Amino acid sequence: MRWYKVVALIFRDFIIFTRSRWRLVEFFYFPVTTVIIWGFFALYTREFARSAGLMVLVINVFWSFSYICQSTINLQMNEDIWSGSLKQVLASGISEFEYILARIVSSAVISIIIMFIMLVVTCFFGFSIKGKFNTILHLTGITLIGSVALSVVIAAFIIFLGRDYAFLAWTILQLFVLLSAPLFPVDILPTPLQWLAQVMPFTRVFAAVRKLVSEGSVASSLLVDALEIVLVYLALSFPLYFLAFRRARKVGKLARMT
């Protein structure tokens, strides 16, 4: 591990990010305005369904956080592929692991900043962080790990299948969130989908958020289960990522892609 190369890539990512207006709009403007919209919805419903409105609001915060973390990693990679700079980066001696690690770190920093802003906004609409900070911190960490794991899997698919599958960077998370039952209990889903929901990375995160809003606390066993699931995803994602790179190099797909 050569940290100076990782830091150089992270610095490069932040320069590109701050100079791209569309990135600032997509990753700051849309998440914050969406939280504000759902915040006003929570205010509207507080007289007859207070916890329901707040539940939707806070779930949307974690949903947005997951999307920002995952998509930032994969979109940075897509831009390197489309611009042809991926070949130059790898030719400079940066390993596959150093490359993805730099994207993970820069994405985590950006996502956590936006998460903090969104949580502050929720406080103006009736959600109290008092007494819940540790739980929110744990849920944020679990969501971050799950999102990183998904992004590494998506990166593996893009490398293995080719640049035509770059659309996975902004589409696949939606399917995982749908199967994670964000706004309702898992038993509402059809039986086959309930089985899938049990192995989704965010099912227990959303269940914990609903508990946190409605009851004010979350059982530690639920947090442990959520952490175990995302750690399994993370453990499986990197071997798949390295395998995709080896396969792409072997068949010449990596050279054609860049």
The string of pLDDT tens digits covering residues 96-152 is 898 899 999 999 999 999 999 999 999 988 888 888 999 999 999 999 999 999 999
Higher pLDDT, 235 or 161: 235
Task: Determine the residue type at 209.
Answer: V
Residue 91 predicted with pLDDT over 90:
no
Tell me the pLDDT band of 247, cut-offs 50, 70 and 90.
Answer: confident
68-95 burial: b if 16+ Cβ within 10 Å, else e: bbbbbbbbbbbbbbeeeebeebbeeebe
The three-state (H, E, C) secondary structure of 102-143, written as one string: HHHHHHHHHHHHHHHHHHHHHHCCCCCCCCCHHHHHHHHHHH
**Rounded CA separation 89/95 (Å):** 9
Q: What count of other Cβ atoms lies within 10 Å of the Cβ of residue 97?
A: 14
Mean pLDDT of the chain: 86
Give the Cα separation of 208 and 202 in Å (integer). 10
Question: Helix 96-123 and helix 3-19: axis angle, to 10°?
Answer: 50
CA distance 229 to 231: 5
Q: What is the pLDDT of residues 219-237, one digit of tens each?
A: 999 999 999 999 999 999 9
Q: Where are the domains positioned within the chain? A: 3-257
Residue where the block lists tokens 């990197």: 238
Burial of 219 (0-12, 13-18, 19+ CB in 10 A): exposed
